[in-house]
Structure 1
């Protein structure tokens, strides 16, 4: 990715995207959220977030998906920086530069990853020495998916998705991500999930991760993992965007070990047997003209970490 120009005293953090290997969605709670059980895996699509002291708050977009980065106070990275400043009684403005290689509004926690990176970068820039619990508390306040990018690897999440526990995963898994040029609203997908369940009279059990998935991860068995991939939000995403089902089915027909919508979509994730198989699948999907933006990645990878910079 193209790096944004840096300012003196800049701290830069590299942070990964995620894919949900399983996403089980419970009933809608009184607070409007749903209880979740999910297994995240961090994959090798990364954003870099750089923070530096500045005379006013600003967001400087850069990278593959720069055009979609909000530059106002609604940007989750800005909210993360201001939350740290408020909690730690710091009265400074920052320039936040985002080199974006994680798809935007794609179900891969792109905005959440940037928020997590900003928390870590601010801690380093301001020399706060925040512990894991303090950072996790702020991450959970910002959003359900913000905590996981701080951890990376493979992890199980519960609650709204903010309660994280590491999961043993052996080996490396190879992915192809078919990225849509049109986003899907996460609230709209959850609302459609609720509507479809109400219409069918479906009894919604407490969300639990399947033992088959956990076993596949422990054994590093990509074939078994492909069979265990599952997303309760997928029918809702297909209902709102029927072409996503056609894309998922095409990828499986072309040899993917498994395919599913990632998170609330619209990115469709395909697990493959190897790096070479991922290349072959990408070529097949492109030739069939069923997917435009195709990205390959592997996982698990490390979570957010400082790559340059020190406080001054």
Structure 2
């Protein structure tokens, strides 16, 4: 399904505890342009949030001495597969960036129930980061949306989408310039996740190797009148699909399996592996 609610519930005003769900996303279109001077690529994409979620609880304990020079402590507990060191996790980094850039003083505890597969192109890490930002903004009464968006963009390209209110949006720039559009009607979607982790860096490297680097790859504009029929009739394109399918046989098998099961359109999400 393609519907979700990303509201933040404050569970205990006294202890400053908030909970929310962090949805996965699909890229209904993903066009990759030329590499920019900052090392990122120009992108044009359609983001669609879907009803696969991680669950986030954030506790904020305000410092009583008001010492803004004291480094805040950020604690993480994880219910799910190991994701590596805490300080490399996007949720942890989002909390650190929020505290530093807003000047809030205190300690943060993040409890993450991980249900979105990592390395599948579903944006789980970015969604977790946005969920932490939303929770901290709610329980500290921080309302500067421009700064919140700046924090999100500093964490990762997809984070700004998850920080928004719409389930459907157009992403340009490096994917961080978000234009919210009317949500697409709810529709059943089958998501297949083969047992392979696709490295985003490897996917970009392979795509670059398949292109004539002397050419400039300009991107067409994506109109705001996005419809399911248009996407199903060929407007939905992912520039990574052929490359990643060639690199990973299980991705190609997954796409073929969906087609054989009757899917009208099969498409990679992000740089894979989900389709």
Shorter-normalised TM-score: what interval?
A: 0.7 to 0.9
C-alpha distance in 1 between matches for 2:150 and 2:266: 33
Q: Secondary structure at the match of 2:142?
A: coil
Matched, 1:266 2:264: no
In the other structure, the counterpart of 1:18 is 25
Does the CA contact (< 8 Å) of 1:106 and 1:266 recur in 2? yes
How far apart in 2 are the matches of 1:123 and 1:177?
Answer: 32
Q: Does the CA-based 8 Å contact 1:35-1:160 persist in structure 2?
A: yes
2:240 & 2:23 partners in 1: Cα distance? 22
Q: 1:23 & 1:228 partners in 2: Cα distance?
A: 10
TM-score normalised to structure 2 length: 0.84
- Are residue 207 (structure 1) and residue 219 (structure 2) matched? yes
1:161-204: CA deviations, max 9, x gaps?
00011223442222111113321111111111001113xx7955
1:119 is the counterpart of 2:136: no
Q: Per-residue deviation at 1:208?
A: 2.0
Task: State how 1:150-229 maps to structure 2 within 5 Å.
Answer: 150-151=163-164, 152-198=166-212, 203-209=215-221, 217=227, 220-221=228-229, 225=232, 227-229=234-236
Q: Which residue of structure 2 lines up, in the alignment, with residue 57 of structure 1?
A: 74
* Counterpart-to-counterpart distance in 2, 1:113 and 1:194: 27
5 Å-filtered alignment, 1:23-42, equals 23-42=30-49
1:206, distance to aligned residue in structure 2 (A): 1.2
Query: Could you say which structure has the greater relative contact order, defined with CA pairs below 8 angstroms and 6 or more residues apart?
Result: 1
User: 5+ residue gaps in structure 2?
Assistant: 1-10, 62-71
- Between the two proteins, the alignment pairs up a number of residues equal to 252
Give the TM-score of the pair, scaled to structure 1.
0.74
- Match in the other structure for 1:237: 244
Please give the root-mean-square deviation of Cα atoms over the aligned residues, in Å. Answer: 2.3
Report the equivalent of 1:92.
106
Contact residue 193 and residue 235 of structure 1 kept, 8 A? no
Summarize the alignment of residues 275-286 of structure 1 with structure 2, pairs less than 5 Å apart.
none
Q: Distance in 2 between matches of 1:113 and 1:216?
A: 23
